Structure 1
């Protein structure tokens, strides 16, 4: 079968032929129809991810049909839960936790074998490509926005980096909760796109004084952020007293300093968030089905065009999820 793996070649990601997985016991063999890219796939490509094991099939998000396995799953259209060994504590992942696609073989292959407890039925209102875009980004956004951010009716939520896959889901879940939603982006075009989706306003973070404009709306109950870096102090200037700053990434690195005085005086909560538990994955899907939420798909690439898909991700030009169709 064809699969995208990480190698030690000059171009680290390669489309190769490997053996089709053989299942045993109650395992399921899923024929993948579509898989989506995540930032971690590009980080692995760049050698910036811990514990890289060469030869591993990349990919955390996938949709397909169960071709072999227990009778109750055979022939079902499914999505794959990318969690591996979250553990028993709903508050935090276990020390053995990892995400499908490194070091465990992932979804960027024609077939994947998984235990049945990693599968959930594909939401019926989604295409295969939309469903493939859902698992990792949807779960990350749901935990950060709803479970930790506390988004609900009457709350004002700021989602940073409006073009990213997780950010798009954070916006969608915040809408579904009844919250008033604002965004930041470095692209005026992306801000205009999300405003057409119902976002109240957007702020261009390339403007050094963006937070002054943002502060005029009256402060935010929650800020959902993947950037980190020196913007943290700007967030502390516009968060409401006792508000929540939820950070699920650090694409701009560590802050040079933190305005600790503003932090303790505002009684703000700075919260970390990573993926989510298996129970939250189920709850996330309930929201997807109840509110008929559809992922924003930026572009669909054929498998043989995988390098262009990765390069588009690297360039950060995308708006929503990049999907590879099998």
Structure 2
């Protein structure tokens, strides 16, 4: 199968990345017990993939060397070189193709992480996200994942729409409902509409702060669907206009 894999060296003539990528021919994954093999139909590109290529994603090690392990123990948030050979990609939608599973033939969405199953407060185990070894990634023709981590794709969503939902959607849901506990009638301010989550504060007026990507747009739509009065800020008038089209009550350009 073909897959997009992370390389150790930077791309030639490119200064913004410290890791190149390559289209690599790899064996189709073996299917372990209680796993499904998925032929991917669509995958989404997250800001996380950009950070990995830029060497900015925290707590990632490339080699099993004692000094790296010691550094990670002392400074667990330190950015370490991502592991070369990883298949990138956290989100994907595809068709289950292994013959011995009740999901065979179904179009499914892939849950993008491991170690966080039920507790709304945080991960129960060692938390990790698809797209870095030893976990597989979705930028490939096939992926094998636990059968408990796939869910039927809503029929009204295209492959591209469904593939863009999991990582951004789960982050937005947690920010909006688990943390901020938005409910009908609340007044919600989303700062930096069209950008991803950086922090949340809560009072009688709820503030959700973002700085890039699709998480803010998902949070906006979740809050509107819950009956909240949502307002946004941005430096881009087109983003404010789009937010109002999606249900925001209004917006402010913070450069005015």
Q: CA offsets per residue over residues 134-154 of structure 1, 9 Å max, x none?
A: 100000000110121111111
Aligned to 2:35: 27
Equivalent-residue separation in structure 2 for 1:120 and 1:9 (angstroms): 36
1:102 shift after superposition: 2.0
Aligned equivalents of 2:248, 2:119: Cα separation in 1: 34
1:27-50 Cα offsets, whole Å, 9 max, x none, are: 110000000111111000101113
Compare 83-92 and 101-110 and name the one that shifted more: 83-92
Please name the residue that 1:6 is paired with.
6
Return the TM-score normalized by structure 1. 0.61
**1:162–1:168 CA contact under 8 A, matched in 2:** yes
Assess if the C-alpha contact under 8 Å between 1:35 and 1:59 holds in 2. yes
Deviation at 1:95, TM superposition (A): 5.2
Q: Distance in 1 between matches of 2:246 and 2:126?
A: 39
Structure (1/2) with the larger helix percentage? 1
Superposition pairs of residues 187-206 of structure 1, within 5 angstroms: 187-206=236-255
Alpha-carbon separation, structure 1, partners of 2:148 and 2:104:
14
User: Secondary structure in 2 aligned to 1:25?
Assistant: coil
Alignment of 1:118 with 2:123, yes or no, is no
* Aligned-CA RMSD value: 1.5
Name the SS of the counterpart of 1:181 in structure 2.
strand
CA contact (8 A) 1:7 1:13 kept: yes
Give the whole-Å Cα distance in 2 for the aligned partners of 1:69 and 1:116: 13
Judged with a 3 Å threshold, the aligned counterparts in structure 2 of structure 1 residues 28 and 158 are, in CA distance, closer, same or farther, namely same
CA contact (8 A) 1:195 1:201 kept: yes
Contact 1:29 1:69 in 2 (8 A): no
1:83-126 alpha-carbon deviations (Å, 9 max, x no partner): 21116643111451111112311111110000100100001110
How far the C-alpha of 1:70 sits from its partner, in A, is 4.0
Q: Which runs of 5+ in 1 are unaligned?
A: 208-326
The 1:70–1:91 alpha-carbon spacing in structure 2 relative to 1, beyond 3 Å, is: farther
Distance of 2:245 and 2:91 partners within structure 1? 27
Give matches, 1:30-41, under 5 Å. Answer: 30-41=38-49
User: Could you report, residue by residue, the CA deviation over 1:47-94 in whole angstroms, capped at 9, with x for unpaired residues?
Assistant: 111312111111111000001154311000000001211166431114
Where 1:64 maps in the other structure, the secondary structure is: strand
Distance 1:161 1:90 in 2: 25
**In structure 2, distance between residues paired with 1:39 and 1:126:** 22
Contact 1:26 1:70 in 2 (8 A): no
What SS class does the counterpart of residue 106 from structure 1 fall into?
A: coil
Tell me if structure 1 keeps the 8 A contact 2:42–2:159: yes
Whether the 8 Å CA contact 1:27–1:69 is kept in 2: the answer is no
Distance, in Å, in 2 between the alignment partners of 1:60 and 1:203 is: 33
Aligned match of 2:136: 105
Kept in 2, the 8 Å contact 1:100–1:106? The answer is yes
Map residues 248-267 of structure 1 onto 2, 5 A cutoff.
none
Query: What residue is the counterpart of 2:24 in the other structure?
Result: 16
Task: Give, in whole Å, the separation in 2 of the partners of 1:66 and 1:21.
Answer: 13
Aligned residues: 207
Deviates more, 1:80-89 or 1:166-175: 80-89
The DSSP-based 3-state class of the residue aligned with 2:97 is strand
